[in-house]
Chain A
Amino acid sequence: MTIGSILTDMVKIFIKYWDVFVLQGIMYTLLLAAIAVLCGTVIGALLAFGRMSRFKVLRAIIIAFVEVMRGTPALLQLYVGYFLVPMLIPDMNTMPSQLMAFICVAVALTFNTAAYVSEIIRSGIEAVDKGQTEAARSLGLNNSTTMVSIVLPQAVKNILPALGNEFITDIKQTSLASTFFVGELMTSYKTVVGITYNSLSTLFVIGVLYFIMNLILSKGLKFAEKRMKAHA
């Protein structure tokens, strides 16, 4: 087997099964990652504010949750989601099994992302110079006005780039969902290999696709970051 033959196999496989890779694989991967990042950011923001609140019990619960999510494998969390979500929502069992698996995995990825995002948001807020808060409070502004007018607009500049990286991480993490055949890019690989029996070339095809997605994303993020800095 030569490099040349691998390359030609890759091209052949992509041309023959491009719809499985692109229309199904990439689409589900992006959808899953987008759901995880969007919902995860909302929940992560709530967690971050809960963690900075003055309610001790709430803080302790959130810290425990975040540490558990960061200290256990994502694949394990997907398994837990896969079995736990249908137990909590029994109606789900009437759904087509692929849809059910997709929802379970999306929920698990969302909570995984929420844990990481809550840390991103918290450290983004804490990275804003304490002097900014002190100056605002010394003028008689209350805590929430200070947060909304002064701290958050500055924290967003720390948070957005890290959030973009989390999106890239999530795109790579969705590959774990192939364990449950939810249809994302790694599932496409399994489908195609089942027909072609050409593992290496198929792997390289989806590898290139993952790489291109993340390359476009990270270039886009760099560009957005630059523009944001220019307007600061």
Chain B
Amino acid sequence: MLEIKNIYKYFGSHQVLKGISTEIEHGQVVSVIGASGSGKSTLLRCMNLLEHPTFGEVWMEGKLLTPVDPYLHFDVIRASKTYSKLISEGMSDDDAIAKIKKEDLLHEKYNAEGKKYRALMKKIYDENHIDINIARQKMGMVFQQFNLFNNKSVIENIMLAPVKIGIAEYRAAVRRNNRIRLSNVFRKDKKPLIGLPDDPSAVKLKAEENARALLKRIGLSDTANQYPSTLSGGQKQRIAIARALAMNPDVMLFDEPTSALDPEMVGEVLDLINDLVKSGMTCVIVTHEMGFAREVSDRVLFIDGGVIAEQGTPEQLFNNPQNPRAAEFLSKVLR
């Protein structure tokens, strides 16, 4: 469902992620743990491209969200002039590819690698790429600091994205039909018009209905017309989760959803996430709540030094960590 391939992320010369690959299966719950500053948030934010990975690719349901990374495609490497040159110097295929990857010979000189290389890069991109705004609609994100829209009431917070996007889709469909109508004037075989999605008033009506249902589900119906500044942290975070759910996402990304909460409010938020997990939602959860991670996760990733230093089921990782850094980290946080 969500696959990241060989993700690197540098902030200037600061290398935060150094080659992370993993696949989140449909319905899976994956927790990400690690020391603070180890790059957990960066990894999560690379998944929906709030950060753009320096190298590597992100795939969501068979669609490519990032640019094509030439190092992940042998045929692309082999199409490059650099590769041909190395081969002509008598290097073996394996060695040439290894050298190109290791010394990062392709990225800097995209234009110098020849037509064949560029055409192949473009072909892969065109065949697989999806607009990031469309992909993000299916990836809900929950932030440590809630990030509710301060200028919107609770119900407006939840309705905003479905309404704006629904109306934009309707307008786009109307425009497309107008174009078809125009071109039909000059055609013998008339092209059929496409069916229109909900019109703006229906979009609003459905979004509001859905928002009220979500508020009911999280037990905050009476806050619908309040503004975020009047709410407690726990309420804010539950509403932020509802706001993400309003887009019917296929996967939810949580970045330390309880770290900014007063202790007495952690439970209500974890309960809600637990409900989601039980309903079968695919989740990636960055958390310091080890007990919770252990309870809900199918798999736990321990991030250290910019890579996945260890991963496994909660039992494997928490009871019997193999990586010494993981053992040290867990002994500190589980104490």
Interface residues in chain A, defined as those with a beta carbon under 8 Å from any beta carbon in chain B: 129, 131-132, 134-142, 145, 149-150, 153-154, 232
Contacts and interface: CB of A to CB of B under 8 A. Distances in A.
A135 to B, nearest CB: 4
Contact of A134 (B138, B147, B227): B147
Given A139-B137, A140-B137, A149-B164, A131 B151 contact: no
Contacts of B133: 137, 140-142
Interface size class of B (residues with CB under 8 A): 20 to 34
B151 A153 contact: yes
A140 B165 contact: yes
A134 B137 contact: no
B151 A134 contact: no
Name the prevailing secondary structure of the A interface residues: helix
A129 B50 CA distance: 15
A209 B225 CA distance: 47
Contacts of A132: 147, 149-150
Given A131-B143, A131-B145, A145-B164, A138 B151 contact: no
B136 interface: yes
Interface string B46-75: 001010000000000000000000000000
Interface of B: 48, 50, 133-141, 143, 145, 147-152, 160-161, 164-165, 168, 227, 229, 240, 243-244, 247
A144 B147 CA distance: 18
Contacts of A145: 164, 168
A149 B143 CA distance: 20
Given A135-B147, A139-B141, 10 more contacts: A129-B147, A131-B145, A134-B147, A135-B240, A136-B149, A138-B244, A139-B137, A139-B160, A139-B161, A141-B161
Given A140-B247, A149-B160, A135 B143 contact: yes
B136 A140 contact: yes
11 contacts: A132-B147, A134-B143, A134-B147, A136-B161, A137-B133, A139-B160, A140-B133, A140-B135, A141-B160, A149-B160, A232-B150
A123 B164 CA distance: 27
Contacts of B149: 132, 135-136, 150
A134 B161 contact: no
Given A131-B145, A149-B160, A149-B164, A138 B136 contact: yes
Nearest to B240: A135
B204 to A, nearest CB: 14
B197 to A, nearest CB: 15
A64 B229 CA distance: 40
A132 B149 CA distance: 6
Nearest to A128: B150
B136 A139 contact: yes
Nearest to A152: B151
